[in-house]
Structure 1
Amino acid sequence: MQLADIGVYGLGTMGSALALNLAEKGFRVAVSNRESDWIAPFLKEAGPLAAGITGQERLEEFIAALEPPRVLLFMIPSGAPMDEMIAKAAPHLAKGDTIIDAGNADFNDTRRRNDVLAAQGLHFVGLGVSGGEEGARTGPSMMMGGSAESWQRLQPMAEAIAARFEGAPCVDRVGPDGAGHFVKTVHNGIEYADMQIIAEIYGLMRDGAGQSAAGIGALFETWRKGPLQSYLVDATAAVLQTVDPETGQAMVDLIEDRAGQKGTGRWTVIEALKLGQSASGIEAAVGARSWSSDKALRGTFETRFGAAGGMEMPEVDTLAKAFEAARILSHAQGFAVLQAASEAFKWSLDLARIAEIWRAGCIIRSGLLDDLADALRGTEEGSLLLAHGMAARLDRTVPALREVVAAAVVAGLPVPAMSASLQWFDAMRQGRGTANLIQGQRDFFGAHGFRRTDQAGDHHGPWGG
């Protein structure tokens, strides 16, 4: 059989789906897996597509089955497992070959691996892949970070298997070394915020207005078109309206309220802080997931302090506008983090292109991203929120967000992501803030100095003793 165009190592859910996607698009694929007994069942399940796929149990045979310059795509757990596989594979590779890490990796690890392999004449690609199993199989959104040479080799395959928005593939080389994994990390951070905002609206309607899951789901169903259109709104409408076949109850009411997380949202917040940026909406979403895991303590607090009761519910149109405003603000924070990273690491990220890549195939795909792409291309003001279209939308929707957050606070119902996004916006629109007092305090107890508004240079205050 002819040598393969690409090798996929790791036949879990995502790796299997990507391998089948590649084979379906006419590329010759070699596959392997740490547990070699996975290979035969995979080839059997591939059906007619197996004609374009070969399976190799040993790593050396897997690499030998690839057409030079070789392209190896690893879809395995990040961290130590990836370092272990690189150490095993690299001695069998030649200059010009490419290793792709398509998992959710820490971009700092990606940059390190890139430097080590570049010294050996090998290319290393950090490929952010979004869309879950369905996306990987039928068309994911992908963010590639690596050398221009590796992109030239990978581009035909990546564009063939990617999701499409109005015919354009939702994949591109976003920058060198760790850029792809960083962009995917921020994508996931925005995803955390989007999901939390939706959960907060659900919570207000459930606990504040006493509405049923099906009734709330019906409202989300009406939001599937128009300014709130998104994959996550689609998913929410479906989840809330699904009935458990065993009990006849709403399925969501039978799910324990503990949210899991794999770390990418937390990485977004950590890197934002390192870059001196605020990602308060994302941070609130990460915090809310952490709080959810402490269910026993929440039960104790409810017994001691009491649970929130009903609230004066805003109109449905007000809820919709508040949702829209919160989403715009959380997305804006994410793009601000991307811009800061682009400058810090000299990546020259094209933020508008990133928004375009996210318009199809990924979890946060939405109509908003199309508008954000236009805003990012159209603003010269340093923030997408100052673009004419976005500024006008905030003028129209922020008052509703303020009304909803205020009503929730009065009722004692938690809306951490919505309130954090609003507080960030309010802080940013204050031309004169309160940090002058903080600088005075720092100088008072630590002689850190400050800058005056009327004189140049650093100064200290006459605080006395």
Structure 2
Amino acid sequence: MSAELSEIGLYGLAIMGQNFALNMAEKGFKVSVCNRSPAKVDATVARAKAENIATLVGHKEPKDFIASLSKPRKVVLLVMAGKPVDDTIKLLSEFMEEGDIIVDGGNEWYPNSIRRSKELEPKKILFVGMGISGGEEGARNGPSLMPGGPKSAYDALHPILERSAAQVEGSACVTYCGEIGSGNYVKMVHNGIEYGDMQLIAEAYQIMKAIVGLSNDVMSARFAEWNKGELKSYLIEITADILKKKDDMKGEGYVIDKIKDCTGMKGTGMWTVKEAAEQAVPAPTIAAALDARFLSGRKEEREVAATILKGPTEVPSVSHEQILEDLQAALYAAKICSYAQGLCLIKAASDAEGWNVDLSECCRIWRGGCIIRSGQLDHMRAAFSKDAGLKNLMIDADFAAGLNQRHCQWRRIVTLCIASGIPCPAFCASLNYFDSYRTANLPANLTQAQRDFFGGHTFERIDMEGSHHCQWSESHKDIGDVKERTAGNIGS
């Protein structure tokens, strides 16, 4: 490699792009940067100089930027998802050649990555869709990286990605997820799990505040204590920090109490729920978290409803310490359900697309850098390493024992919330998921009978092979004949 040429380029210098470029350069790689706005190039170069990073160079023209890279040229894009990615690929690929590699590091809907890969095939430019988790801090200091694309492209990128990723116990938080689309999918599900985890923590906060009546400082201390044990995770850690943060803008109170209760979103949670439906994989914790965000956005409606709709006037009297003990157990159990649902979804999509995603590797690379990093991920990794065909995390012997030990406390928390009129959609959805999955005989036989009654959809029997249709009543006979002639297209 010529000493004048850079080993990798990064296009898109908003804060994530700046931070990831500086991260790679700090690890000893020569990095070229470029941006649609030349001012961002200047700002990034100045920042590198201020941080004593000498291996980052700026370019203001796309042609010069591409020419500055050693072959095969490797370019990471960190621009807004959607059309900006297409526009950037069109702009840069004009100057690229066979064997060069483009990596999209944004949160992208995975079919878009598959499409872009095919569009680049005539030029024989390799395309990688790579999930990057960890936010601004992770991008700068070491994120969790989830690349999917041609294996040859990953092999060429690996030395840079391995050194730039978060490091946990000497292991880099990066792995080859599979063919194109797989990296985007794993990152999408990561974000879906994140939705569920955040909602569960928010519900725990509401229980502490509205039922137990704890102050922000006491809640902060409790979350900090939990972060030393089985609930140890990044989200629990930052929750403790958030709750104790004083309002230094106005000089009184706490920031948390001044924030409007309307949650934003960027779409990955919605994609996860949509994909769960497409793959016929239940993801009720994640769906409940998404619904909670939708409901939070209806602030004005909720304020009106609060003056009209009434809740319980008497609430159960329970020891506050008992509630907090139960809450810790319930939060652990419900969080396991969120991970279980997400990992089941990745497995279903991997099987359908032929990606061969390794779930134990997903758990390994999520241990550092990313938002859902948790002390339990080591145990999850071990579960899937021990049994690659594990159908659901909940039935691993160790996790099953933990859930079985805590389910009564979990039920007490859900019951307490319902009796107190405190919403707990994610806790409740997780418990229903647990109970449904452990129930050998669900009432779906009645649902299927109803479908056959009004739609002639047929049903399977437990004592006979094949599909069957029943004449449910004399008045149903003619209707049934019509339905059979229309191939069961009536109803749901």
**Structure 2 length normalisation: TM-score?**
0.92
CA distance in 1, matches of 2:293, 2:311: 19
Indicate whether 1:337 and 2:341 are aligned. no
Alignment of 1:342-361 (within 5 A): 342-361=350-369
- Aligned-pair RMSD on alpha carbons? 1.3
What amino acid does structure 2 have at the position aligned with 1:370? Answer: D
Q: What SS does the aligned partner of 2:175 have?
A: strand
Which runs of structure 2 are paired with 1:133-148 in the superposition (5 Å)?
133-148=136-151
- Per the TM alignment, residue 45 of structure 1 is displaced from its structure 2 partner at its CA by 1.6
Amino acid of the residue matched to residue 137 of structure 2?
A: E
Task: Give 3-state SS (helix, strand or coil) of 2:347's partner.
Answer: helix
Indicate which of 327, 332, 348 corresponds to 1:324: 332
Equivalent of 1:82, from 82, 85, 91? 85
Q: CA deviation at 1:311?
A: 5.2
2:448 & 2:260 partners in 1: Cα distance?
Answer: 46
Quote the offset at 1:58 in angstroms. 1.2
- Map of 1:250 onto structure 2: 254
Q: CA deviation at 1:399?
A: 1.6
2:479 equivalent in structure 1:
none
User: Does structure 1 conserve the Cα–Cα contact (< 8 Å) formed by 2:344 and 2:391?
Assistant: no
- Counterpart-to-counterpart distance in 1, 2:310 and 2:140: 47
1:281 aligned to which of 282, 285, 304: 285
CA distance in 2, matches of 1:274, 1:116: 25
1:30 aligns with 2:32: yes
- Give the aligned residue type for 1:320: Q
Would you say 1:424 and 2:433 are equivalent positions? yes
- Residue 482 of structure 2 corresponds to none
1:407 aligns with 2:411: no
Residue 199 of structure 1 is aligned with which of 199, 202, 205? Answer: 202
Shifted more, 230-239 versus 43-52: the winner is 43-52
Structure-to-structure mapping, 1:5-404, within 5 angstroms: 5-47=7-49, 49-245=52-248, 246-306=250-310, 312-313=317-318, 314-379=322-387, 380-404=389-413
- Structure 2 CA distance for aligned equivalents of residues 381 and 67 of structure 1: 43
Whole-Å separation in 2 of the counterparts to 1:418 and 1:170: 30
Say which SS state the counterpart of residue 125 (structure 1) adopts: strand
Q: CA–CA distance in 2 between the matches of 1:409 and 1:388?
A: 31
Change (3 A) 1:231 1:85: same
Per-residue deviation, residues 191-235 of structure 1 (Å, max 9, x unmatched): 111010000010011111222222211110111111000011110
- Of 169-178 and 47-56, more deviation after overlay is shown by 47-56
- State the Cα distance separating 1:312 from its structure 2 match: 4.0
Counterparts of 1:49 and 1:89 in 2: how far apart (Å)? 29
Structure 2: which 5+ runs fail to align?
A: 476-492
Q: Is the 8 A contact 2:26 2:53 kept in 1?
A: no
Q: How has the CA–CA distance of structure 1 residues 190 and 157 changed in structure 2, closer, same or farther, with 3 Å as cutoff?
A: same
Offset at 1:315? 2.9
**Cα deviation code 1:166-202 (max 9, x no counterpart):** 0100001111100001000000000111010000010
Does the 8 Å contact 2:459/2:469 carry over to 1? yes
1:289 maps to amino acid: R
Matches of 1:169 and 1:27, distance apart in 2: 17
Q: Which runs of 5+ in 1 are unaligned?
A: none
Between 341-350 and 87-96, report the one with greater CA deviation. Answer: 87-96
CA distance in 2, matches of 1:266, 1:397: 30
In structure 2, give the amino acid aligned to 1:6. I
What percentage of residue pairs aligned between the two structures are identical?
A: 41
Shift of 1:91: 2.1
Other structure's SS at 1:297 match:
helix
Match of 1:374, as an amino acid? Answer: A
* Number of the residue aligned with 2:486: none
Contact 1:74 1:103 in 2 (8 A): yes
Deviation string for 1:132-162 (max 9, x for gaps)? 1111111111111011110111000000111
Bigger CA drift: 323-332 or 383-392?
A: 383-392
Q: CA deviation at 1:430?
A: 1.0
* Secondary structure of 1:365 counterpart: coil
Q: How many residues align?
A: 465
Q: What corresponds to 2:490 in structure 1?
A: none
